[in-house]
Amino acid sequence: MRRMRLSLAMSATLLVLGSSASATWGSTGATEWGNTVSFGKQLIPTGVSGISGISAVSASRGFPATNLALTSGVVQSWGSNTRGQLGSGACCTSRTVPEAIPSFSNVIAISAGRETGLAIKEGGTVWAWGTNVHGELGQGTISGPETCKSGPCSTKPIQVPGLEHVVGIAAGSEFDLAVTESGTVYAWGLATSGQLGDGSTEGTVTCGGVAKACEPTPQPVKELEGAVAVATGALHGVALLGSGTVKAWGANEDGQLGNGTTELSTVPVSVSGLSEATAIAAAADVTLALRSDGTARSWGANTRGALGVGRSEAELGFSDVPLTVGGFSPLKEATGISTANGHSLALLSNGTMKGWGFNYAGQVGGGFASEEVVLPTAVVHAKEVSGISAGGDWSLTFGGAAPSLSFLFPAGGSSEGGNVVEIHGANFTEVETVEFGNKAASFEVVSSTLIRAVAPASTPSKTSVSVIAARGQGVPLKYRYTAPGMQPELGRCVKTAKEAGKFKTNGCTEEAPKSSFEWHPDAVLRGFSGSSTETVLETVGKAKVNCKSSTMAGEYDSPQTEAGVKLALLECEKEGAGKCSTPLAAEGEIVTHALEGVLGFESKELNNVAYQLQPEGGGQVAEFNCGATNVKVRGAVVAQWSPPNNMRASFNVKFKQGKGKQKPESLEGGPTAVLEASIAGGAYEQMGLSSVGTVTNEEEVEINTVL
C-alpha cells in the first residue's frame, strides 16, 4: 500500500485527543491540539479549529509536538516550531490552530518528523522543511538557508534534489526515507545506528552538537528491491515490499527489526514469519504491520504494553519476532495502523478505532487515563473515521463531522445555576451529552445549529462547556460562574418598537411598563482597544519600571467577563538596569500573556465598577528582561472601568497603585488580587501597576449596575 494513496481519502472533520500542548485526544500541553483552549488530559476526541476537507494527517511521533493535515493539496500545520517545522516561513513561534503553509500547493502526501516536515508534490518530487542539523533536508550539506535557534534550518519547503517519481515518504527522528515508483528506497540524515541501510554506520559528514556521522544526500538503501511503502522508528527503518513481506534495518536492541535477534543491521533483513502485509508503521523501538486478513502484528519493545498482545511490560519486555496484536483475542477487520512513542491506533473497516499502549494522558482513546493498556481498546466517540495518526502522547483522526461550537449566549451566569444557555454551532443532530465542567446539563437540541441547555449549579469560577456526540466533541467553550447576588453586567440598551420595551431611558436603568428600550446582555461586536500615557510598575521594595505609554486590547466574551486581553507597555526602562523587553518583542516593549477579566464592583456604595485581570489558564502575567536582569510577574490586578449606566463608544480605564501596593487589592467581596514580581531570580514581592487611559469599543455598550 503506497503512502500516496492517502491523498484519495475523504473527510469532513479533524479530531484530536491526548496531550495538548494541540479534538485530538491525550495530553494537553500547549500546541498540538489545534484549538485555542487547553484542558490538561483530553480523554474524548475533540474537534480541531477551522479545518475541514482533510485527506491525510500526520503527527510527530515524539516531541516537540507538531501536526500536519492535507486539504485539497494544501498543507496545514500547527504545534511546536522550534526549528521551523511548521513551514510557515518563520521561526520559532509555535501556534495552537492550523494555518496553511504559504505558497505551497499540489501536495499529495505528508509526513511529520521530530523537527522536520516532508511532502510529495504531484509529479513525485519531495520537499522538506525544518531542521537540518543532521542533514534532514537532504540538500547535500548540514548547513541551511536559514538559522533557527543557532542551528541550520529552512522555515519554508525546499525541494530535495535528486528524488523523482516518489510515491512514499517517512520523516523520522533525525533521518528520513523515500520510496520511488521503481521500488527503490532512499535514506538520508543521521547514520550512527545503520538506519540509512547503506551497509555502514558512517556518513560523509560529521554533524550535531556532539560529533555524529550523517549523510545529507539521499542514498539508496542497499539489498532492497520492490518496496512500496516505508516507515521510520527512532533509529531503524522499515520497508513493505510488493510481495507482502517486510524488511527492516538499523538499531535492534529491543528486537524492533523482527528477525529473531537483537543485533544491529546496517542493511535490510527480513522480518521473520510475516507475509501478506499491506501496511507498516514504526516509532521509537516498535514496529507494526497490517495483514490482508485485517489482523496486525507487532514486535520490538513492549514498553507499557506497546505491543498490544495482552502482556504488560513487566511480563514481556520485548519481542524480536512478530506477535499477534490482541493476543488470544486478535484485532480484526483493521484497515489502517499508526504508532507513536508508546501507543498505537488501528482503524477498523466499520469506521471505528481501537488503541493500546502507554495511556497516561488518555492518548489510547478509551475515555480514561492509565499507565498502560495491554490490549486493543475501543476509542470512544469515534465514528466514520477515515484516517488516523498517533502522536507523542496525543492522537489525530479525521472523518465524520463532530459537533462544532461557535459561541455561548450568555457566556456566564450565577453559580446558583438554572440559567438557560444557548449553544450555537453546527452538527448537533446526534448530540448525546452536554457538560458544564464535569457536570451533565439538561438540554434540548433545537436544530443542527442550536442547543438550549440549563446550567447546573457550581462554584464561582470559569469552566468549559462540552458538547459530545457519537463522532466526538466540539472544541469546548468557556463559561463563567459568578457569585450569586446583583453584579454589574455588560450589554446593550436597545431601542424597541413603541411600548414594546421595559425601560424608559436609553441607559436601561429605570423600569416602566410599555416603554421604548430593552436590555440585551452581552455584546455583538465584542472587541475593544485603547492606549494610555505613562505606565509604571513598582514593587514595595522600590524597584521601578517606567514606560512612556501602553496599549490594551481584548474582547468582552460574556456579560461578566473579558478574554484575550493583552497589555503592551512601550519604551520601558528599569532604573539602573536598562531597557526592558519581552522576548521576541521590540526593544523596550513589555507584552503580557493573554489575560482574562472578571467584572465586579470596586465599590458598590460608590457605584464604581472594575475588571479583575489575571492570566488565562494560570501562569505568569509577563516575563521580560531589563538589560541582563530577568523579571517575572504573576498574580492579578484590578482596573477601574468607567463610567457605568449609559451606552458608550469608549470607557476610561485606570490602574492605581502607591509604593508598590495596588488600589484596590480586590473586587468588593472577592479574593485578593495583587501582582508580584521576582527580579533576577529572587523571591516574589508585591508589585503595583499605575496607568490611566481609554479603550474604544467596536460598538456602543454599557456596564449596567442597577438591573
The pairs formed by 438-445 with CB atoms below 8 angstroms and a separation of 24 or more are none
pLDDT per residue as tens digits for the range 333-378: 999 999 998 999 999 999 999 999 999 888 998 888 888 999 999 9
Assigned domain for 288 exists: yes
Same domain, 329 and 286: yes
Q: What is the pLDDT of residue 52?
A: 74
Nearest to 675 by CA among 596, 595, 624, 620: 620
Same domain, 97 and 149: yes
Half-sphere exposure of 156 (CA within 13 A, CB side): 8
Among residues 373, 397, 421, the one where a domain terminates is 397
Question: How many percent of the chain have pLDDT more than 70?
Answer: 93
Same domain, 239 and 123: yes
Among residues 365, 397, 429, the one where a domain terminates is 397
Same domain, 304 and 189: yes
Beta strands 661-662 and 472-473, pairing class: unpaired
Cα–Cα distance for residue pair 163/94, rounded to 1 Å: 30
Assigned domain for 488 exists: no
What is the average per-residue pLDDT within 229-245?
A: 97
Among residues 345, 365, 397, the one where a domain terminates is 397
> Which grid cell is 653?
480605564
Same domain, 393 and 467: no
Same domain, 141 and 268: yes
Nearest to 285 by CA among 314, 264, 268, 312: 264
Residues β-bridged to residue 68: 58, 77
pLDDT per residue as tens digits for the range 16-75: 554 332 246 665 444 444 554 444 567 777 777 667 788 899 999 877 889 999 999 999
Cα–Cα distance for residue pair 532/507, rounded to 1 Å: 27
Tell me the CATH number at 393: 2.130.10.30
Tell me the CATH number at 419: 2.60.40.10
Same domain, 386 and 469: no
Q: What is the pLDDT of residue 26?
A: 63
Cα–Cα distance for residue pair 300/309, rounded to 1 Å: 12
> Which grid cell is 177?
526515507
Cα–Cα distance for residue pair 419/441, rounded to 1 Å: 11
Q: What is the pLDDT of residue 32?
A: 45
Other C-beta atoms lying within 10 Å of the C-beta of residue 60 = 30
- Residue 15: band (very low, low, confident or very high) from pLDDT cuts 50, 70, 90: low
Assigned domain for 667 exists: yes
pLDDT of residue 229 exceeding 80, the answer is: yes
Residue 552 domain boundaries: 527-704
Q: What is the pLDDT of residue 459?
A: 83
pLDDT of residue 231 exceeding 90, the answer is: yes
Same domain, 325 and 241: yes
Domain count of the chain? Answer: 3
Same domain, 293 and 383: yes
Q: What is the pLDDT of residue 439?
A: 94
Cα–Cα distance for residue pair 679/543, rounded to 1 Å: 9
Assigned domain for 140 exists: yes
Can you list the positions of beta strands (E) in 427-541? 431-436, 439-440, 443-447, 450-454, 461-469, 472-473, 477-482, 489-495, 501-503, 511-515, 517-521, 527-532, 535-539
pLDDT of residue 13 exceeding 70, the answer is: no
Q: What is the pLDDT of residue 23?
A: 45
Assigned domain for 518 exists: no
Q: What is the pLDDT of residue 616?
A: 83
Cα–Cα distance for residue pair 193/301, rounded to 1 Å: 17
Assigned domain for 491 exists: no
Assigned domain for 698 exists: yes
- Residue 310: band (very low, low, confident or very high) from pLDDT cuts 50, 70, 90: very high
Q: Which residue shows C-alpha cell 483552549? A: 37
Compute the mean pLDDT over every residue in the chain, rounded to the nearest whole number: 89
Cα–Cα distance for residue pair 280/300, rounded to 1 Å: 14
Same domain, 475 and 564: no
Separate counts of helices (H) and strands (E) for the chain: 0, 61
> Is the distance from CB of 345 to CB of 357 less than 8 angstroms?
no
Length of the chain: 707
pLDDT of residue 583 exceeding 50, the answer is: yes
What is the average per-residue pLDDT within 389-398?
A: 90
Same domain, 277 and 250: yes
- DSSP symbols for 661-676: EESSSS-TTS----EE
CA–chain centroid gap for 258, Å, is 35
> Is the distance from CB of 147 to CB of 188 less than 8 angstroms?
no
Same domain, 231 and 138: yes
Assigned domain for 498 exists: no
Nearest to 600 by CA among 554, 655, 565, 640: 640
